[in-house]
Amino acid sequence: MKLYSNPASPFVNKTLIIAHECGLLDEIERIDIALAPGNPNHEFGKQNPLRQIPALITETGTCLYDSFVICDYLIARAGNKTLLPADGPERTHVLHMHALCNGIMERAVATRYETFARPEEYRWPAMIDDNFDRIDKGLAWLNAHIDEALAGPFDLASATFVAMLKYLDFRFDHLGWRTKYPALKEPFDALSQLSCVKAAYPAA
Ligand SMILES: N[C@@H](CCC(=O)N[C@@H](CS)C(=O)NCC(=O)O)C(=O)O
């Protein structure tokens, strides 16, 4: 399998954590590409018309996206029953917490594009502030409900939680999430020690 990726992408890193946990990381060749809105890579677009990473080329040549679909594919392929439970309230819970952590990640990546990729004269401060506020509110919710949010074994939501906070450290260190949301620190530190997380961030 081939994974179009970039070490700076939290969606890629979430996927790599899951791939390692599924015992499939060694079967994945990484092809690093740099993408940004407004600078279309049409060659890559022949594989993924949305021109976003991660995108996984399976052995049959299918190009899978987005990160959730790739994780779901890897989990099913590995026959793993805990990373994403098959049904019931456990599945709903993992999907719900994945949606929250992934949503924060999406707001963070969007803000990165708004503040870094977009030429200064086209920036819209109200949108940037709104993005930061959603990130803040999401983190505040997690801070207040962390035991419930990460209850149960390591799963897709835990992988997304750690990838999301690592991205905030990488791009938005000034937000100071450890000070504002101290309940997140201990689970983050514990998850960061897992071999699947270390494997996804070899340079850390
Ligand atoms: N919902 C997608 C989001 C993927 C995404 O936003 N990837 C970014 C990199 S972090 C990207 O490819 N950006 C290039 C672009 O949007 O032009 C997923 O979960 O895979």
Q: Would you kindly state where each structural domain of the chain is located, as residue ranges?
A: 2-78, 88-194
- Closest CA to ligand 1's atom 19: 67
Domain formed by 2-78, architecture: 3-Layer(aba) Sandwich (3.40)
pLDDT at residue 4, rounded to an integer: 98
Ligand 1, CB cutoff 6 Å, lining residues: 9, 11, 35-37, 51-54, 66-68, 109
Closest atom of ligand 1 to 66 CA is 20
The pLDDT value recorded for residue 168 is 98
The pLDDT of residue 189: 98
- Residue 117 has what pLDDT? 86
Encode 123-176 in three state secondary structure. Answer: CCHHHHHHHHHHHHHHHHHHHHCHHHHCCCCCCHHHHHHHHHHHHHHHHCHHHC
How many angstroms does the Cα of residue 48 sit away from the middle of ligand 1? 11
pLDDT of amino acid 68: 98
Q: Which residues of the chain have pLDDT under 50?
A: none
Domain pair 2-78 / 88-194, same fold: no
Q: What CATH number does the domain located at 88-194 have?
A: 1.20.1050.10
